[in-house]
A and B are shown apart, each in its own frame.
With several copies, the nearest count.
Chain A
Amino acid sequence: MLKNTKTYFPIFKKYPDLVYLDSAATTQRPKLVIDAINQFNSFENANIHRGVYDLSNSATKNFELAREKVAKYLGSTNPKTIAFTSGTTNSINIVASSFLRPRLNKDDNVVITLLDHHANFIPWQMLAKEKEAEFRVVPIDKNGNLDLTVLEKSLDQKTKFLSLNHISNSLGTTTDIGEIIALAHKKNIPVMIDAAQSIAYYDLDIHQLDYDFLAFSGHKMFGPFGIGVLYVAEKWMKNITPYNYGGGIIKDVTIEDTTFSDFPFNIEAGTPNISGVMGLSSAIDFIHKFDKKEMIQHISDLVNYCTDQLISIDKVKIIGNPENRSGIISFVVDGIHPHDVASFLNQDNIAVRAGMHCTQPLLAAMNTSATVRVSFSIYNERKEVDQLKNSLVELIKFWS
């Protein structure tokens, strides 16, 4: 188990009793990241690119160094595979609109899975509708696992794209993206990975996984809100056209026509979130303080312990029982609505999420319309699981 990780995070100094079990919604921010943003805003603030004075130069340099750092984080030596976006949702929409729209025809199909977040669901659904293409949602088994043979059967000659998340933010299912990508590539289907839930803890080395597109958000990896990443494999870079039009993405503008720069610059129209990029960059530095295997081990220990504790409570039912569970558990309490559960846990300083978690079709398939979700990160501890259990037991007693 990791030790004393709470000390990196100012929020736990201010609220030592806070049991924060909502890291799947957003992780907390370590001091390192907060200070980097503060430092930039206080003493290094300038717009990038077209300035030749010192502040602007060093902002530009640090911005491009951050791009390099993100690329390296994915094992890519080419920083030009990395575009900065406003988040996972934005990154996925860019690929749907800019890459797939011109390639998707009537009667083609695009494949996602029932595990996917609305961010990786609706963009493809809407595009399929627009193009009169088929929108295929690969089902899951009753435990919340993807069956790879079912998935493989869903991929055919008319499949123009596969997009799926690495970790379900709702059930905690971790999918074997390496194998899935290989399956799809055998049929020449490009694959996008929604890595929102895994980017902080898992090694997503491009050379091992060979994804075509990857999306993630800063705020789920100890970085700030408002910044995200879109990775595009070299072979597809030429196929990415602008999403927003504006300054900084052009070669030439005349009244008659405009020509654009290449990816990734053509995606970064307007002033980017420069302080956000600085924050993301130091979030990666923060993650590098840890061994990823130890992070996963830490979280896995908590999740297993929590599963055991929850099962031991009468009236608590865990939704889904995936073979490979990350740091996320969804459950319901018999007769008590998830909202009420969350509110009462809050009275005991326990922060959990209640609702549909932006996975309405998934919950519908699991026959529930809302769950309580707990999610763990490196700052959580076993004793917080005990507190969760005690509160739940007390609540159930109170309610009956």
Chain B
Amino acid sequence: MVVTKEEVQALYKAHILPENNNPYHFEAKDNASTSLDAYNPMCGDKFQLHLNVKDDTFDTVHFHGFGCAISKASTSILLRKIEGISKVDAIALCEKFLKNLTEDNQVDEFDKELNTLIALKHFDGRIDCIKLPWEALLAHLMKG
């Protein structure tokens, strides 16, 4: 599926740029209970996720670092989604999101923001940018 220039521009304008320009909790919080890197060595994008966990639930979460608009927007949206939910629910969310992102057809419904990210998978060559924080968080949570 090819995405036209106009469609991409519309997606960027409506969702990615606002999120990129006003990312959620974009701040280095080095004293968080957990910190992890979301890093893509192929392109150099690297975000630190600072997660405060209480009773197996994500309390406040922040992130910081450097990356393209899509990876930054994706990280920002991810953080907004996991704040206040349990680790178990976060794992489920990451898995479900990544599944819909990777497979040809979207099978589950998400809210508008996540749908936008999934729609962008057809913007060729950028799927790794979308995936970046989701895969990093999932890998971290699966470790225990």
Contact = CB atoms under 8 A, between A and B. Distances in A.
Interface of A: 49-54, 56-58, 60, 248, 250-252, 261, 336-340, 343-344, 346-348, 354-356, 360, 363, 369-370, 398-399
A325 B43 CA distance: 24
**Chain B interface secondary structure, helix, strand, loop or mixed?**
mixed
Given A52-B126, A60-B125, A343-B123, A356 B69 contact: no
Nearest to A338: B68
Contacts of A340: 68-70
5 contacts: A53-B125, A57-B124, A261-B41, A363-B44, A399-B17
Given A356-B43, A369-B66, A370-B44, A57 B125 contact: yes
Nearest to A398: B9
A354 B70 contact: no
B84 interface: no
B125 A56 contact: yes
Contact of A343 (B41, B45, B126): B126
Interface of B: 5, 8-9, 12-13, 17, 39, 41-46, 66-72, 123-126, 129
A348 B129 contact: no
B44 A369 contact: yes
B66 to A, nearest CB: 6
Contacts of A347: 5, 8
A370 B43 contact: yes
Nearest to B6: A347
B126 A252 contact: no
A58 B2 CA distance: 12
A338 B45 CA distance: 10
A337 B125 contact: no
B5 A348 contact: yes
A338 B72 CA distance: 13
A346 B3 CA distance: 12
B42 A355 contact: yes
